[in-house]
A = this chain, B = another copy of it.
Amino acid sequence: MGERSLSESLERCLAKVTEVIRGHNSFVLLEHEKPDGDCVGSGLAMVLALQSMGKQVILVSHDSHPAIYDFLPGRRFYTRAAYLEPGDFSPEVAIFLDCTDPERAGSALKLAAGRLWVNIDHHVSNTCFGDAQLVDPNASATGEIVYDLLACLGVEVTKDIATCIYVAIVTDTGGFRYQNTTGDCLRLAAVLLEKGVTAWGIAEQVFETRSVSSVLLLGHALSTLKLYRGGKVAAVTVTREMMKASGAALEETEGIIGYPRSVAGVEVALFLREFEDGKGFHVSFRSKTKVDVAGVAVSLGGGGHPRAAGALVEGTIEEATAKAMAALERVPWTDS
């Protein structure tokens, strides 16, 4: 058994999935589109485990694994869905990892057609699809559930498997910094460390590896930091020129908004990214506790969640900022 104490119904699910795995010989593991550390780590851990049981297995995803995970073991059993035709490999079982619904697998889904489906996930929004399900929203990451499963299967958790599961957990909890960080996941991390995982080495690989272009873009963006509303709103801007000068890709703008959000006293952070045609800005909003930025974004024709939202705003940087600030004035601030 794993380290956690599980509910009876989860124990039953675990037993059923164990039975399915023991009773079959060939498996395709499916990740969701744009695989993250939890997907990649869970997938590679399962690959190594099934290999050690003498099973045939491949791991498939719609998109490539991010390069920061290239150090993980087991990668030779991984491929992109585009490189495979359904006839190339005919597994008996398809295991969906970290996918709320089958469609999350994107083009990899074609490899699951006609197989027995196993659904392993920790998202509360999981649609409970599949012939056998192992869905636990209390798990910090799908990797935590994979650990329970390997314990049930009697698979030895080697240093390589432990490393994959550690990556799954440490990335999905933002380095044990997000709300899904639980005592159970820290205790599992401790067990994994004692199996030889190098916490500092993994942290350096997954959290402290940047591209030149992303560092330059971050520099240009943070240099534009401006405060509004007595320091309760902070905004940074990325122009087309900055994107060009830094050579950054669009996805490298992710995470920049965390810096204005982190300024002491700031309640709402804005990140303005210029349209490619220069006619306006994509404005992202993040709030801490006092403002529902979904409402702000909706009033600008956009949408999102109470703490993270966005809208497209036409005009110059001054005009777009003024429109965003005006929208922020129209919603209630619970402290004012």
Q: Which residues of A come within 8 Å of B, CB atoms?
A: 67, 174-179, 181-184, 186-187, 189-191, 193-194, 199-200, 203-204, 207-212, 215-216, 218-225, 227, 231, 234, 258-264
Contact = CB atoms under 8 A, between A and B. Distances in A.
A199 to B, nearest CB: 4
Contacts of A175: 175-177
Nearest to A222: B219
A208 B262 contact: yes
A259 B211 CA distance: 10
Nearest to A201: B179
30 contacts: A67-B264, A175-B177, A176-B189, A176-B199, A177-B203, A177-B204, A177-B208, A179-B200, A181-B193, A183-B190, A183-B191, A186-B187, A186-B189, A186-B193, A209-B264, A210-B262, A210-B263, A210-B264, A211-B263, A212-B225, A212-B227, A215-B222, A215-B262, A216-B222, A218-B218, A219-B219, A219-B220, A219-B222, A219-B223, A219-B224
A87 B184 CA distance: 49
A189 B193 CA distance: 14
A230 to B, nearest CB: 12
